Structures are given as C-alpha cells and as structure tokens.
Structure 1
Amino acid sequence: MCTRSQSRSRNNSPQREAIPAIVEPLRIEFPFLEDQFQEDPPPESPMADNRTMAQLLQAPTEGYEEAIVIPEITANNFELRHGLLTLVQNKQFFGHDKEDPHAHIRYFNKITLTMRVLNVPSSSIKLMLFPPPSKTTNLRNEITRFQQRFDESFYEAWERFNDLLRACPHHGFSELHQLDTFYNALNVNDQDSLNSAAGGNFLGKMPRECLKIIKSKSKVRQTRAKAVVAKVGTS
C-alpha cells in the first residue's frame, strides 16, 4: 500500500514543461573571402620621364638590334611564291586615315595561310614578307637624310616626313629620333618658329611637348594654305 500511495503521489505531481534547447547557428568563418573581396590598392604609376629632348639625345643608344629576326628554316629549297608576293605588294598598308589596320591584318593572315610548307612555320612566312633588307635600308636612309625642300611649306614637309615613316613601319626609330631628325631638316625660319612656340628653345622641351607644338603649327599652316587657295579661286 505504501508503494502504491507513493506511486500515486508521484503521478499526481505536476510535470514540468521541457525547456526547448536554444541552438545557436553554426558560424563558419571564411577569412580568405574577406581578403579576396577587398579592393586592390591602386597600381603605382611609373615615374614619368620628364627629360628634355636635349637630355634624351645625350643618352647612349648602343646595343639596339633589328626588331625583325626570322628564325632559321630547316626546309630545303624553300622560297616564297611569286603570286604570294604579288598579293602582298598589291594591298599594302600606308597608315592613312581611311585605311582600316584590322582589315589589313585579317587580309594578310588570310593570304599567308594559303602557303603551307613542311617544316616552315607560318610566322616565318609572315616575317619574310616584310621588305627585304636592301629596301629597308633605303627607306631608313630616306628618313635619316630627310630635308625640307626649298619651296616646301612646314605642313608639306611634316606630311612628307610622315609618309616616309608610314612607308617603313618597321624603321625602328624612336619618337625622340624622329622629332630630332625632322627639326634639324627644317629651314632656319621654321626652326626659329618652333623655338619661338617653345618659349625660346625647342629642344629644351620634352618629346611629347615637341610633338604637340609641331602638330599645332602644322594645323595652323594647313588652315592658312587652304584659305589662300580659296581666296585665289574666288578672285
């Protein structure tokens, strides 16, 4: 009986409600993601070369080699077909405003792919289609020996000089060399005009400033020439 009453008292006692366990969400840290999405620091800009034309012309230039080097070809008796040479010569790129350089490259790649020779890479064929050394030498000499003609305006001389550069795009002359060559090829009056536009000494300016002065002067002379022609035509 005692046992039963104890059992009843136990059964009649109020039951405590179970407290639900609080489960904290699992935290997974990905430290590398934070690093991955951090903004990269701005790249350090290289120091601008603020040397003048005169200072740069004193820099050593020894050790420069030709830019185009054709790899050795192991195939026997290999030579470019005359028809391929004709196709390239008939559609040359001169760098004029209306010419599309991308279309020229696509055409050049297309015609060079028509010639496939065992043990001869297509890249070698493309390099061989550049002007021969003798022609390159002649074109380079025309650039280095350039002189303004007696009856040639500044604008005409600048255009003719650029035509020579476009005719030999692999000339290898730096912008510094080009500017120096053109300046020394001008007559005294045009040299004085450039010096005046540069504040007294054209070679005392940086190359990018010299190029800007030349282009500005060329545009002015071109505009004046067109105005004179128009006036003569209406008179």
Structure 2
Amino acid sequence: MRTRSQSRNSNRQQQQVNPTFVEPLNLVEPIENQVPPVVTMDNTRTMAQLLEAPTVGYEDAIVVPEIIADNFELKHGLLTLVQNKQFFGHDKEDPHAHIRYFNKITSTMKFTNVLSTSVKLMLFPFSLEGATRIWLEKEPPRSILTWDDLVSKFINKFFPPSKTTNLRNEITRFQQRFDETFYEA
C-alpha cells in the first residue's frame, strides 16, 4: 500500500522521465513595434460641460398651443378644484365620469384670447395621480396635440374596449334565479 506522499513522488518521477517542452505562444507584439492609438477630440467642450446632466428629452407628452393673451394666468382656486377630484386609475373608477367632471370644471372659467382646449390641456395633468400620472409621464414626448387626442388615449388606456365587451356580456348573460324577485336580482 502506498501513502499519498509516495504516490506524489512517483508522479513527479514519471513527469521527470518524460519531460515535454512547450514553447510559449507570443500573442502580443513587442512594445517597441506597437503604434500608440490616436485619440481625437471632435468635441471642444470642457470637462465640466461634459459632466453636466443633459437637458434635452424631458418634454411633456401634451403639447399646449401657444397662448397669445397678454395677462393669462391660471388661478390657484382652479388648480385646487381640479386636484380635489383626482383620477387614480383604480378598477372601480370611471374615466368617462372623470372627463365629464373635468369638462364641467374647466367650462366655468373663460379667458380672453385663450382657447378652452388650451386650458384643458394645461390643467389635465393636475387631475391625475398614481398610475394615471405615471401613464402620462411614459407617453412619448409631444405625442398629444389636441384635447381629443388626450381624451382618446386616456379612455383607451383606462377603459379599454375589452372592458366594454366584458360589461356587455355580463348584462346579456343576466339571469334571475327562481327564488328571487327582479329587484333582488
């Protein structure tokens, strides 16, 4: 029986008996033959300017038409009215009712030389919270040009056609049980 040290020694003896010579591969050229890379700077900005955060690409999805009125200002009270009834996008919330309520609020104010749709486009983001605000922020920049675009995208997102189909199917499959009145059903 052999011990571990004996077997190691015998392996070393075998290696010494049959030595193999392997020349190392020279994959890298000698340093004197290498040409240093040429670094060109097309940009003439300073390091401080290069490290500044970008300021482009932060545009809103909603494009509000230019307002040519001289002294146009949204009053704080109007913003408060809009923010008192915010839409969160929960299943039980009705986006159609939110649009109707929003239209009712914005129709109470009239501004000279300002389109009502411009006021609606400016105020609508203040009526959103939670998932709906995130949805609006994720819309591509400058993708909503009119009030109709906004309403269409909003309704399609939070009251999609599949929801309409499901509600229609529930109504058509309605059945009154034998032991209940129509009112109870």
**TM-score band w.r.t. shorter chain:** 0.3 to 0.5
Structure with the higher fraction of residues in helix conformation? 1
Higher RCO (C-alpha 8 Å, min separation 6): 2
Q: TM-score, normalised by structure 2?
A: 0.39
Larger radius of gyration: 1
TM-score, normalised relative to structure 1 = 0.32
